Amino acid sequence: MVSDAIRLDGKVAVITGGAGGIGAATARLMAARGARVAIADIAIDAARALADGLPGAIAVPLDLEDEASIQTMVATVVDHHGRLDILHNNAALLGPDIARQDGDIEHMGTALWDRTYAVNVRGTMIACRAALPHLRASRGNIVNTVSNLALQGHLIQAAYSASKAAIIQMTRSIATSHGALGVRCNAVAPGMTLTPALREAFPPALRQAVEAETLRDRLGEPEDIAEVVAFLASDAARNVTGQLLVADGGCASHVPGIAQFRAFFGEHP
């Protein structure tokens, strides 16, 4: 039986990037736990298709590069439901074409860097700013999706990694400035997660290299991250704020090259 504190009955949740991957899994889980979800996405047809299958759900168009679009998203949800309790900032600039361009700093295009920050950091900030007055009224909370790449250096995805690190600090800032006003703000850092976009963007060999570094027996699925988001958004996490919860299967928790050590020593050194 699900604990009452885990339930989201009566809560109104906005999920950006909610039409697919982690966002869609989170929308389904939150709806199953009683929330009325607003699926906000630039892919509005996919958002509508998902919303049609969830009780009380609506789809809202969202372009994180457009400040007016972000403000309209929040206003639309509040007008429709009369309140806002949860903002899950999940959308990011991370399509296959973008991933192929996002390499190391020496070869980084300025336009890609600027657009990554415009969507991931500026867009998240504007969404938080627009939502905070309503979250103060409901004593609600924010959950930001970041990445374990915000905690580690890598050969690729320099822009994405840096933008997600900025959101971690934004999370702490909001938790500090608005905690006494009743608003919590936390972040979840997935590792490589088997979303449709990731399957398209990353060759199997690279996925297998990351899987070899996980401390579990497989890579994470969108539903694994949705469980963490729903927990942080619920009253079960009422004493948790300003925190980063790393949900990467243990990839960020061990010495580099653990896969090579396993090969040398066997499973039990």
Q: Looking at residue 19, which CATH number applies to its domain?
A: 3.40.50.720
* Domain membership flag for residue 117: yes
Q: Three-state DSSP class for 21?
A: helix
Please give the pLDDT value at position 172: 98
Number of structural domains in the chain: 1
Please give the pLDDT value at position 209: 83
Please give the pLDDT value at position 267: 61
Please give the pLDDT value at position 193: 84
Across the chain, which distance is largest between two alpha carbons, in Å?
60
CB atoms within 10 A of CB 82: 9
Query: Is residue 117 annotated as a catalytic residue, yes or no?
Result: no
* Domain membership flag for residue 34: yes
Q: Which of 38, 42, 60, 160 is catalytic?
A: 160
Q: Which of 247, 246, 248 is nearest to 213 (CA)?
A: 248
* Domain membership flag for residue 160: yes
* Domain membership flag for residue 6: no
Please give the pLDDT value at position 268: 58
Q: Which residues contact 34 (CB under 8 A, 6 or more apart)?
A: 7, 8, 9, 10, 11
* Domain membership flag for residue 2: no
Domain that holds residue 31: 12-265
> pLDDT means per 10 residues in the chain (269 residues)?
85 97 97 98 98 97 98 98 98 87 94 98 98 98 96 92 98 98 98 80 80 87 96 98 95 81 67
